A = this chain, B = another copy of it.
């Protein structure tokens, strides 16, 4: 459980914070800080992770640090199906991906992909449900707070280079559909279980088939030996162990696309009539301080990103949103899809302060105070819920 949550709980119990409206969701947080790391990710930094379950691990808010990039051993995990056997990493260059919906469809090995082109992109990888723990209607699913997100660097071949090498898209292609290499448990209908996601073909020039994460071969937990990367789209659209990439006329009929990861109103079932969870929105959150500080000048730091757009600016409030000051971005700008770290020198007298941040993207979209809830609890970017209350002494 993060320090922030501890603090919120403490205040809730003392009954002093209800007026801020910040903390309604705190009571349903059930992160199990003391759960051990699952075997397949025993190389993760235990100090940095909150283990919700075998397939859901969150980065602690105080573990993001100042590196801009999130190290792989601190990066969150969210698997819809357990990973395949790790033997698929025995010969990474031999992994095969079938490219379909092009003029000359064929199967290519990773080794062959590596001759077709190379690029590197830095982007926020964020679970669709990051922030779910802040929704007041208590959606089912992991109650992520801020840590189902990280800023990582992928290296691979641009999908455009692969498609061009195979004669270009077939006629009538509207979607890029990626199929994951997870093993479907016996007795289950593949359509109900498999990870197959479709995204609009208009993003084809940014999609990558990646073999490296932060410069190292991608671990099994994060989709190695090959992952389909869709910058600016939520995590589920970045298909792990990708075994088929198809340019298709229609979206896949897999349940994970047809009924799940939809933005339906609270109380409804998801279906094709509801928007898919695709592009990410503008968001920011404070990473320090989170619990206490010494009175005087305090460097308030955090991260901000624009999702599908670049982030343009960010403001910080140290009075729960009553007033705002422009913060400065610090460190390198790693591109449109990356997050930026920011800092504001704030003068804080002794006492309790609610600190939060509000980002604006390059299209002028401003992080809202609150969000309209959706049944599954996706895309929460409300600045009020993301605030922290600290005690200055």
Contact = CB atoms under 8 A, between A and B. Distances in A.
A314 interface: no
A66 B155 contact: yes
A246 interface: no
A331 B67 contact: no
Contacts of A69: 69, 214-215
A288 to B, nearest CB: 10
Contacts of A162: none
Interface stretch (A99-107, A129-137, A335-343, A370-378): A335-343
A281 B113 CA distance: 35
A115 interface: yes
Contacts of A119: 330-331, 343
A66 B115 contact: no
Copies of this protein in the complex: 2
A115 B298 contact: yes
Interface residues of A, number: 37
A114 interface: yes
B335 A215 contact: no
A122 B122 CA distance: 15
A299 B212 contact: no
Interface in A136-172: 153, 155
B212 A120 contact: no
Contacts of A345: 115, 117
A363 interface: no
A121 interface: yes
Interface in A291-306: 294, 296-299, 301
A347 to B, nearest CB: 10
A65 interface: yes
A65 B115 CA distance: 16
Contact of A66 (B67, B212, B297, B343): B212
Nearest to A63: B215
A94 interface: no
19 contacts: A66-B120, A66-B215, A67-B212, A68-B153, A69-B69, A71-B215, A115-B294, A115-B299, A115-B345, A117-B345, A118-B330, A119-B330, A119-B331, A119-B343, A120-B330, A120-B332, A122-B331, A155-B331, A332-B334
Which 8 pairs across A and B sit closest by C-beta, in order of nearness?
A67-B215, A120-B331, A65-B215, A332-B334, A66-B155, A115-B297, A118-B343, A118-B299
Given A117-B299, A119-B331, A332-B335, 20 more contacts: A65-B216, A67-B216, A68-B120, A68-B215, A69-B69, A69-B214, A71-B215, A114-B299, A115-B294, A115-B296, A115-B299, A115-B345, A118-B301, A118-B330, A119-B330, A120-B332, A121-B331, A122-B331, A153-B332, A334-B334
Interface of A: 65-69, 71, 114-122, 153, 155, 212, 214-216, 294, 296-299, 301, 330-335, 338, 341, 343, 345
